[in-house]
Amino acid sequence: MAENTNAFSMAQQQFDHVADLLGLDHQVRELLRWPLREYHLRLPVHMDDGGLRVFQAFRVQHNDALGPNKGGLRFHAAETADTVRALAMWMTWKCAVADIPLGGGKGGVVLDPATLSANEKERLCRAFIRELWRVLGPRQDVPAPDVGSNAQMMGWMMDEYSRITGQYTPGVITGKPVGGGGSLGRKEATGYGVIYTLREAMKCLNIDSTQTTAAIQGFGNVGQYAAKGFISELGGKVVCVSYWDREDRAAYTVYKQDGIDPEFLMNITDQYGSIDKDKAVQADYSIEEGDDWITKEADVLIPAALEGQINAETVKNIHERVKIVAEGANGPTTPEADQVLMERDIFVVPDFLCNAGGVTTSYFEGVQNDMNFYWTKSEVLEKLDDKMTQAFKGVYDMAQTQDVFMRDAAYMVAINRVVKGMELRGWL
Ligand code: GLU
């Protein structure tokens, strides 16, 4: 039978498995396997040529027992209600595992953002807020950037919300531009968070990080800063990066024998993660057509693109040298592929632990907005490192004491916290 790669089924399957391990009550499961609320929107937007386009959009609020719903807005052509539901659910676990007082939410707009001009994008962002502002706010639901969205878009949305409510409200959204209510370090946060948890994993496995290599899938915000951090923080070498080329509608893998230079590649990458192939070749990079990151000889694999990339099919191609998968993306590994990783004894730093650095720094951004006082970049990154290290330790201890796979341990920590939060509020 073909593997079911529907993201929401995957998220529910992972949840059900751990709910069994925890012996969770049936009614509690019913509450947690679905979002508490969801909004389905149609957004009419005037295009630059005078025409009208209607966009389909979603905002899903999965659970807010521990605090306001929190999570990004994806602008992607393949977005569906189910991908957003899955991502919202993963946000609940992510905030809980990171031990920050926030719930889980996610939004999505079905479109390829590269097809819009800056003005069209701004009108779309403002339309999204006009439709949804009543259910958003620093104490209700706080969006953030994700695939296909960026700091400028967050800035426009914060402005629209503040205009409608008549009050400057930077805390309604995070990932805003620095100088416009944003936090220093937010841009680097998800990628660096991946590296902090990876560093802890290597310590537990007695691996000398300076002797390691990594292969990365995706060269957007997460992949870029994970690549930088792998070199600067761990002293390792990144052997290749796979990315999706928008124009060619094909995947490519860029590599260099003695290690890629992320700074150089970032300078020749557009805002959607497509690398300029000609410039890369001129600088002695090799380029292969195909999404080959997973086959490369490396110690660490860092999926930093979309969900379902390590699946029943692709997992077979993982090189025997691979020791750790550090999941920068949300939901990159299917339950069937998880089985194979387990059998092969590959250590997994699971997504909602590994990539929690983004939302943790969003939380710091909200705190700074509330205080109206801003920290330095090193203060932010130090606090982030501390939170990520604690989160990793909590999950690793659970994995050791319960003798379970790291993903299950992360779910156990997260579900326990959310259930306790619901109990304390009298929901259960
Ligand atoms: N979109 C990011 C994530 O998936 C960040 C969410 C946030 O900062 O709220 O974790």
| DSSP string for 302-349 | EE-S-TT-B-TTGGGG--TT--EEE--SSS-B-HHHHHHHHHTT-EEE
- Return the ligand 1 atom nearest residue 70 CA: 9
Q: Are residues 136 and 203 in the same domain?
A: no
Q: CA 8 → CA 11, 84, 144, 209, distances in Å?
A: 5, 8, 21, 35
The pLDDT tens digits of the residues spanning 3-39 come to: 888 999 999 999 999 999 999 999 999 999 999 999 9
Q: How many domains does the chain have?
A: 2
106 is an active site residue: yes
Q: Are residues 159 and 198 in the same domain?
A: no
The pLDDT tens digits of the residues spanning 155-192 come to: 999 999 999 999 999 999 999 999 999 999 999 999 99
- Domain termination residue (choose one: 143, 171, 199): 171
Taking a C-beta distance cutoff of 8 angstroms, is the pair 63, 104 a contact? yes
Of the residues 362, 364, 365, which should be mutated to test ligand 1's pocket, given the most ligand atoms within 8 Å of the CB?
A: 362
* Separation between Cα atoms, residue 269 and residue 206, nearest integer Å: 35
Q: Are residues 294 and 160 in the same domain?
A: no
Q: Which range marks the domain in which residue 300 is found?
A: 187-349
- CATH at 343: 3.40.50.720
pLDDT given at position 247: 87
| Active-site choice (70, 94, 106, 387) | 106
144 touches ligand 1 (CB under 6 Å): yes
First to last CA, the chain: 38
- Domain termination residue (choose one: 349, 366, 389): 349
What is the whole-number distance in angstroms between the Cα of residue 297 and the centre of ligand 1?
A: 30
- Domain termination residue (choose one: 306, 326, 349): 349
Phi, psi of 313 (to 5 degrees): -80, -55
358 touches ligand 1 (CB under 6 Å): yes
* Separation between Cα atoms, residue 68 and residue 41, nearest integer Å: 21
DSSP-assigned letter for residue 98? T
- Could you say which residues of the chain have pLDDT below 70? 1
Of the residues 190, 225, 387, which should be mutated to test ligand 1's pocket, given the most ligand atoms within 8 Å of the CB?
A: 190
Q: Are residues 214 and 311 in the same domain?
A: yes
* Separation between Cα atoms, residue 247 and residue 274, nearest integer Å: 9
**Within a domain: residue 102?**
yes
Neighbours of 140 (CB within 10 A): 16
